[in-house]
Structure 1
Amino acid sequence: MKRKFFDLFKGFLKLTRIEHSLMLVFAVLIGELLAFGSIKNFNLDTLAFISSLIVPSLLSMSAFAINDYFDYESDKLNKRIDRPLVSKIIKRDEALLISIVLFVLSLYLSFFLNQIAFEIAFIFGAFSFLYSFKLKDVALVGNLYVALCMAVPIIFGGVVAGSLNQNHILIFFIILFAGIAREIAQSIRDYKGDAIARGSKNIVHLIGKRKSAMLSSFLYAIAISLSFIIFFFFEPYKLNIIYAIFVGACDILLFYVAIFSLSNYNKVDFIRKTRNTTLIAMFLALLGFFFPLLFS
């Protein structure tokens, strides 16, 4: 059966999780603005600026494509018909080729940045293959890697701009803890299929679903607490009403997920919905980190 271009394009966007790439681009920009202090002081070469936004986006797209390539059997067992390989919109060998091309292209563009930025791109790109192949089956290691991929763009932006400060570090850990919590929750959803298809022994297999849900909620609580520390002590976010609105909305959503996950960890539909809820929460947080930098 001949595949239509629109279906292929939509499958490509699903395969590469383009919405995550857009958030990473935003996070890199925030990291760069934090280094300069505000948008008024922004001073970055045009080519370096454009490359700094494209590189993590391509790496993220490459990572998701190779993840679906290796997860094909477990996704079938978990009935993940939302995945383009399972629904046969994209062929498995095409996903592999897409991942490799995007990875190589991202490394090429990272040459226009500094050495540390290139090394970050290379390390995380290489580990995306290792993660999908085996690391995701190791308790907490896989969860930590994915969370690091979500958090490191803030650091990457600072590295490209040539400066890191305490806000980079605090925001990095907020995203890191929220990211680990989110990944543990998703492990609860997929643990059966992953165990059968991949022989996975993730955190859920070690401590059970209930304790995994408790750990996830605890990590969300740490992320929320760190956001309060920034609000009360660190400029330009100190007592900033814009920060309070957006990050406060994020905290409310994360608190909701953390509390209700404790009693709904056995409900697959609930865990599936929390994936989108936490993605929205993180986007709201990025807005809260971004807008104060426009007016400082």
Structure 2
Amino acid sequence: MAEKKSAGGAVKAWLKLVRIEHALMSCVGVGIAMLLAIKQPYIIPNLSMHASAEFGFWPAPPLLAWLLALAVPFFINISSFALNDYFDIEADRKNGQLKRPLVSGALKPSVALWTAILGYAIGMLAGWLLNPVCGTIATIFTLLSIAYNYKLKDWPLVGNAYIALSMAIAFLFGAGAVMSKNDGLTGLLAMMTSFGWTTPLVLLFSPLFLIFSDGMPATILWLTAGAFFAGLAREIIKSVQDMEGDKKARNSKHLPILIGAQNALAVASVCVVGYSVCVAQLAGLMKDQPLTQFLLILSGAAYAAIALVLWKWAEKDYMLELARKASLYALMLALVAMLVGAI
């Protein structure tokens, strides 16, 4: 009985280590983008979603192709959080994060390290099995994740922007998983196969080709922008919460340390307003779906309230934590709204 309880405790600690809810949210974001892209009348879906992989290295049945697309954000997300806690054991102690699995001793650091190594490998492999664009995105964000956890998180705004981008890219990735070369990716795929030694450079900029692709739905672009603003706001708030411990443990030079907590929260407030604008645009595009529109308006209103909290009660630590949690729930509400609209 004790062994079962111990095993259950280890599983619970591992789920806490990898922040499983964030991985699942990314999967939902990718799935929503895939459904939205498939529904567009001018998009011819990638055959990997139906019979065989059009760009991949091997034929993929429909269910397997969907599982591969969802595996990428899932495994890269859990790897990133595991590696974050692996590098941050001392900083977490100084920030009073004593319930974190590695700090409390619930898990050994080696568990976090091996979770990161295996998760990154599986995520990249799944991306490349889908198509070169998805493989490139998976590889870029794996490398950025490692760089972020090792050093970028201590750079002013750079680390925050990376986390925001990692949230936003889920929607472009989902669209890239189903959009075929008939949807504006012809030039990119042609360059990949004919430019020889410059192919890696073309691959590096492939996410930009997705953004400017003729077939990219406006809903996905607004979702991407909204997720970026929401992620950036949340990360700046977290930097303010952790600034003392980060400064002592890692000599960080991130945004709140350089410009002060109040000024950093002012930047976060601007990002919160940016999210509300994006959600308003999405609601306008969904006027034929009243339930989706209503849920999006609620999400935007919640972020407007968060901006008020950051402006009036920023000096209270518990209000910052409340604002950060509320922002996550409001973002989840927007995802539910778009899922309802996509189905």
Query: In the alignment, which residue of structure 2 is the partner of 1:30?
Result: 32
1: CA distance, partners of 2:246 / 2:229? 23
User: Structure 1 vs Structure 2: percent identity of aligned residues?
Assistant: 31
Deviation, structure 1 residue 38: 6.4
2: CA distance, partners of 1:192 / 1:96? 26
2: CA distance, partners of 1:144 / 1:121? 17
Q: Which moved more, 1:89-98 or 1:144-153?
A: 89-98
Q: Which is bigger in relative contact order (C-alpha 8 A, separation at least 6)?
A: 1
2: CA distance, partners of 1:108 / 1:228? 37
Query: In the alignment, which residue of structure 2 is the partner of 1:144?
Result: 161
User: Is the partner of 2:99 in helix, strand or coil?
Assistant: coil
Q: Which moved more, 1:72-81 or 1:239-248?
A: 239-248
Does structure 1 retain, via aligned residues, the 8 Å contact 2:169–2:224?
yes
Query: In the alignment, which residue of structure 2 is the partner of 1:160?
Result: 177
Indicate whether 1:255 and 2:307 are aligned: no
Deviation, structure 1 residue 24: 0.6
Does structure 2 retain, via aligned residues, the 8 Å contact 1:47–1:112?
no
User: Is the partner of 1:219 in helix, strand or coil?
Assistant: helix
User: Is the partner of 1:86 in helix, strand or coil?
Assistant: helix
Q: 1:221 aligns with which of 273, 278, 285?
A: 273
2: CA distance, partners of 1:167 / 1:244? 12
Unaligned runs of 5+ in 1: none
2: CA distance, partners of 1:145 / 1:227? 21
User: Is the partner of 2:260 in helix, strand or coil?
Assistant: helix
Q: 1:87 aligns with which of 81, 104, 115?
A: 104
2: CA distance, partners of 1:273 / 1:19? 18
Query: In the alignment, which residue of structure 2 is the partner of 1:73?
Result: 90
Superposition RMSD in Å = 1.9
2: CA distance, partners of 1:123 / 1:112? 16
Indicate whether 1:177 and 2:226 are aligned: no
Does structure 1 retain, via aligned residues, the 8 Å contact 2:234–2:327?
yes
- Normalised to the residue count of structure 2, the TM-score between the two structures is 0.80
1: CA distance, partners of 2:104 / 2:330? 29
Does structure 2 retain, via aligned residues, the 8 Å contact 1:31–1:154?
yes
**Higher radius of gyration, 1 or 2:** 2
2: CA distance, partners of 1:285 / 1:225? 13
What is the CA deviation profile of residues 162-207 of structure 1, one whole-angstrom value per residue up to 9, with x for unaligned ones? 1522221111001101110111111110001001101101110121
Unaligned runs of 5+ in 2: 50-61, 180-214
Matched ranges for 1:126-141 at <5 A = 126-141=143-158
Deviation, structure 1 residue 127: 1.1
1: CA distance, partners of 2:316 / 2:152? 26
Matched ranges for 1:1-296 at <5 A = 4-37=6-39, 44=49, 45-162=62-179, 164-232=216-284, 234=285, 237-238=286-287, 240-294=289-343
